[in-house]
Amino acid sequence: MSRQLWRFHGGLHLPDHKELSSGEPVVEAIVPRQLILPIHQHIGVPAEPVVEPGQRVLKGQVVAKADGYVSAPVHASSSGTVVAIEPRPVPHPSGLSALCVVIETDGEDRWTERQPVADYKELDPSELRNVIRDAGIVGLGGAGFPAFIKLNPGARTAIDTLVLNGSECEPYITCDDRLMRDRPDEIIAGARIMRHALHARECVIGIEDNKPEAVAALREAIARMQATEIEVVVVPTHYPTGGEKQLIKVLTGKEVPSQGLPLDVGVVCHNVGTAAAVHRAVERGEPLISRVVTLTGGVGHPRNMEVRIGTPVEELLAQAGGTLEGVERLLVGGPMMGFDLRHRDAPIVKTANCLLAITGEMAASRGPVRPCIRCGACAEACPVSLLPQQLYWYSRAKDFDKVQDYNLFDCIECGCCAYVCPSNLPLVQYFRFAKTEIWAQEREKQAAELARRRHEFRTERIEREKAERAARLAQKKAMVAKSDSAEDKKKAAIKAAMERAKAKKSATEPKNTENLTEAQQRQIAEADARRAEKKAPVDSEASGGNEE
């Protein structure tokens, strides 16, 4: 069972604090009185509400449907009545509100009709993907990318390795650990379905060596379920091994190309929680309406709970003994990549793997910000081999071309650089700032480009319309001219006579215009014409009427 492992550059050995919450099995959390379901819990286009306030819904019923390809539906996590569809605070770094479907639960927790698939092997991969898409499954590791898309490699891409990510490298978080220990069968069953959908040659579950119980539980399940096509590989505990790109490197030695996808190297990577959700969706017909959440740090009773999506954070914390005195902030996610939750009435969403209460004591290790002393500790720690120090200077100087030359967009925001920085520089914050500025500039550029194209199109249209109008007018006039040709003849005769007279007059005048170039002659002719016009304004006006 020894598989060659690779290393990625940098990374950190962090105190993991996992023992705090990993001791007890997952417990089902109470179904809250009110469920708040944001319609946007995934990467991509927000879902579109399909229920009305006042409507009764059943557990598992779609309340918002996917809008477009990169989107995911949202389901009612319990039965009850829709009471509002309105903006509510959601767990997002911005602290802003977003549209949510609010359900008053009835306590019955009654399921809608479920349609489990008896044998997934009978289903075509595309049908399987539809089941997974309709179940609203998104990546449960944190990013929340609709899972079915990563199970749809396209006919031309051969998938070599399906990687299941059970490394859970962030300190404090133990929801995947507990899931692997408590429900290994679900993960293995899900892995089989995913492998079938992808036609992957092999399936590898990568787990950090600080979770021996999880490794044992999964290996036992594999043996029991005779799923020998799935291999559990123990990888060293080394933050951020749980990063998709890092885990792929460790397990396969392959590097996902910059700006590329794991697909480009024949790998697909899913979280173990996502695998379990796939199993539930396919073999039990249950959409994604709950997830395991770690409640840890400064809480009375750190633990893991199976939480209905939409449960308000405050209510959930109460079931973990509430937050302790001295808690300064509440994070969604871990201490390295999580974000500050500003509203405790915000709900748990599909991507919320952990609630971490940070006490003053834990935050105290951070000292005052000092100038960069160029020590290079950041570059040493960077798992992508970036030069955070250079990125910092250029971000600070707002030199957004240079910062991209130094591969800003390869930064995974793991926080290793800022963690080790002796000057306490908020490096990741600078990088986020630079990225956001560049995106804003790109958008502006696109908007400007669009405006330019619009303007050009408009000018073109006006020109075209003018030309068309002129053509129409000419046509009309030609018709009119035909109809009174008699009058026309008379006018032509007068004109001819006048021209003859004019020619006679000009012929008598001395003109030294022989042996001139064509251009000069034209100039002279033009000058003559102008002179003539001035001399006989009445003539020109009289004849002008018919000239068009």
Question: From CA 401, how far away is CA 21, in angstroms rounded?
Answer: 44
Which parts of 414-453 interact with other proteins (CB under 8 A)? Answer: 415, 418-420, 422-424, 426, 428-429, 432
The secondary structure of 397-414 as a DSSP string is: TT-HHHHHHTTGGG----
- Report if residue 53 touches other proteins, rule: CB under 8 A: no
- Report if residue 385 touches other proteins, rule: CB under 8 A: yes
- Report if residue 220 touches other proteins, rule: CB under 8 A: no
Question: From CA 304, how far away is CA 183, in angstroms rounded?
Answer: 13
Question: From CA 288, how far away is CA 282, in angstroms rounded?
Answer: 11
Q: What is the distance in angstroms between the CA of the first residue and the CA of the last residue of the chain?
A: 93
Using the contact rule CB under 8 A, the part of the chain among 229-237, 361-369, 514-522, 540-548 near other proteins is 361-369
Q: How many residues bind other proteins (CB under 8 A)?
A: 65
Minimum CB distance to other proteins smaller for 69 or for 439 = 439
- Report if residue 93 touches other proteins, rule: CB under 8 A: yes
Q: Cβ neighbours of residue 437 under 8 Å, at least 6 residues apart?
A: 398, 400
Using the contact rule CB under 8 A, the part of the chain among 83-91, 156-164, 326-334, 478-486 near other proteins is 326-334
| Cis bond before residue 184 (omega within 30° of 0) | no
164 phi/psi in degrees, rounded to 5: -105, 125
Task: Classify burial at 39, counting beta carbons within 10 Å of its beta carbon; exposed 0-12, middle 13-18, buried 19 or more.
Answer: buried
We find the least distance from the C-beta atom of residue 279 to other proteins, in angstroms, to be 31
Tokens of 321: 């003994």
- Report if residue 347 touches other proteins, rule: CB under 8 A: no
We find the least distance from the C-beta atom of residue 327 to other proteins, in angstroms, to be 7
Task: Choose which of 82, 169, 207, 379 interacts with other proteins (CB under 8 A).
Answer: 379
Binding mask 159-178 for other proteins (x = CB under 8 A): ------------x-------
Minimum CB distance to other proteins smaller for 213 or for 405 = 405
- Report if residue 359 touches other proteins, rule: CB under 8 A: no
3-class secondary structure, 292? strand
- Report if residue 413 touches other proteins, rule: CB under 8 A: yes
**What are the CA-CA distances from residue 535 to residues 352, 474, 502 (Å)?**
89, 29, 11
We find the least distance from the C-beta atom of residue 211 to other proteins, in angstroms, to be 20
Closest to 211 (Cα-Cα) out of 14, 427, 19: 19
Handedness of CA 63, 64, 69, 72 (dihedral sign): negative
Task: Choose which of 193, 336, 349, 355 interacts with other proteins (CB under 8 A).
Answer: 336
Question: From CA 37, how far away is CA 86, in angstroms rounded?
Answer: 10
Give the binding site for other proteins (CB under 8 A): 8-9, 12, 14, 93, 95, 171, 245, 249, 255-260, 327-331, 333, 335-340, 342, 358, 362-363, 365-368, 370-377, 379-380, 383-387, 389, 407, 410, 413, 415, 418-420, 422-424, 426, 428-429, 432
